Amino acid sequence: MTEPSASSSSSYAAAGVDTAAGDRAVELMKAAVARTQGPEVFGGVGGFAGLFDVSFLKDFRRPLLATSTDGVGTKVAIAQAIDKHDTIGQDLVGMVVDDIIVVGARPLFMTDYIACGKVVPERIAAIVAGIAGACEATGTALVGGETAEHPGLLGPDDYDVAGAAVGAVEADDLLGAERVRDGDVVLAMASSGLHSNGYSLVRHILAQRGIGFTDHSDDFDGQVGEALLEPTRLYTSPLLRVLQEPSLRGAVHSLSHVTGGGIAANLARVLPVGSWVEVERSTWSPSPVFRILSDLAGSTLESSEGTWNLGVGMFAIVAPEAADAVAAAITADGIPTWPVGTVSTSARDLAGFEQGAKGVDGGAVRLTGAYAG
């Protein structure tokens, strides 16, 4: 292959692509990425492919690989508006890695992808530092990634982030609806706020009221955008500790990550067909951010249950005799956890229940009562 001439190289720069800035961004992120990598990772930053030693899987009776991919969504618009980029990476890891723990798998490694209009090395490094920090917190190696500069397609300050991760689980330990039984207790785990779903609605509400992300508001306790960037809570490590605790082995039957689709739909996905749950709203009080946004919209909290998590980021369906111990263990690990309902397989009229979601023929769920004040 003929090497590019100086003139062709300079024309690439004239087209708006700065390869030197990309190299500088890699240098800035190297240390953060390295902290996520243990002896299983081969090679360093900059390779064409990430390498991960999975020889430990030979000790599994029947190893299953789990994979997940996602992005952060329009929450990135708020990060861009207030020029704060160090938390959006945790949102990405939360959306990807916490989907892997749902099946009981331990996350192994992750890759990321950042598309931007212009590579600003410090901004890219801040995003990746957030990803790396959350990978480190969840025991996930960040083994590779890509930053792509798309001038003319994205504005100079625009970017989007996405990622994918792989985990592993012993087939006998796989969690899912088939393990759920009549009488199982549904535990809710508190969210840290909006997480990374429903931001198109958030942005619409604020635009309708003429509120900017850089505005300061007593309701939001400071800058609006800063409050709305509260990063997604990470559930992987506390849940792995529960799943690996010998005294609680087999206690957790299924997990549900409350993301797009809201509360009832995501819980219904991990319940068996023919089962139902009534989730009691009175067992928790939604975080202030949800009440503020609902008030601004002139709507009720109940009307956004299919969009926002309203204070619940994850559900665990647990054997009744172990429910108290599981809730106590997760709470002691820093995530408030409490019972919200019980699984039933008795016959009843399911009118008004959410039944399955995203192509899954699951159980039926509805929320009942009023939220605690």
The predicted structure's pLDDT at residue 209: 96
Mean pLDDT value of segment 177-182: 97
Superfamily of domain 175-366 in the CATH hierarchy: PurM-like C-terminal domain (3.90.650.10)
Q: What angle do CA 80, 130, 314 make, to 5 degrees?
A: 100
* Those residues with Cβ within 8 angstroms of residue 218's Cβ, 6 or more apart along the chain or in another chain: none
Would the CATH topology of 17-168 be identical to that of 175-366? no
The predicted structure's pLDDT at residue 44: 65
CATH class of segment(s) 17-168 = alpha beta
Mean pLDDT value of segment 86-109: 97
Closest CA to 344 of 322, 370, 317: 317
Tens of pLDDT, residue by residue over 11-25, are: 555 555 556 666 666
Q: Which residue type occupies 231?
A: P
Cα dihedral: 116, 121, 126, 132 (round 10)? 90
The predicted structure's pLDDT at residue 46: 64
Residue predicted with more confidence, 260 or 359: 260
Token pair listed for 218: 């007593």
Q: Among all chains, which residue has been given the structure tokens 């039933």? A: 344
Strands 360-368 and 276-280, sheet pairing = parallel
Tens of pLDDT, residue by residue over 197-237, are: 999 999 999 999 999 999 999 999 999 999 999 999 999 99
Range in 30-44, 185-199, 261-275 the model is least confident about: 30-44
Give the separation between CA 8 and CA 11, rounded to whole angstroms: 5
**Which residue ranges make up each domain of the chain?**
17-168, 175-366
Helix, strand, coil: what percent of the chain each, to 5? Answer: 40, 25, 35
Whether 38 and 67 have beta carbons less than 8 Å apart is answered as no
Task: Please state the pTM of the whole predicted model.
Answer: 0.91
Q: Among all chains, which residue has been given the structure tokens 């952060």? A: 72
Write down the mean pLDDT value for the chain: 91
pLDDT surpasses 50 at 1: no
* Those residues with Cβ within 8 angstroms of residue 183's Cβ, 6 or more apart along the chain or in another chain: 320, 342, 343, 344
Cα dihedral: 282, 285, 291, 292 (round 10)? 170
pLDDT surpasses 70 at 318: yes
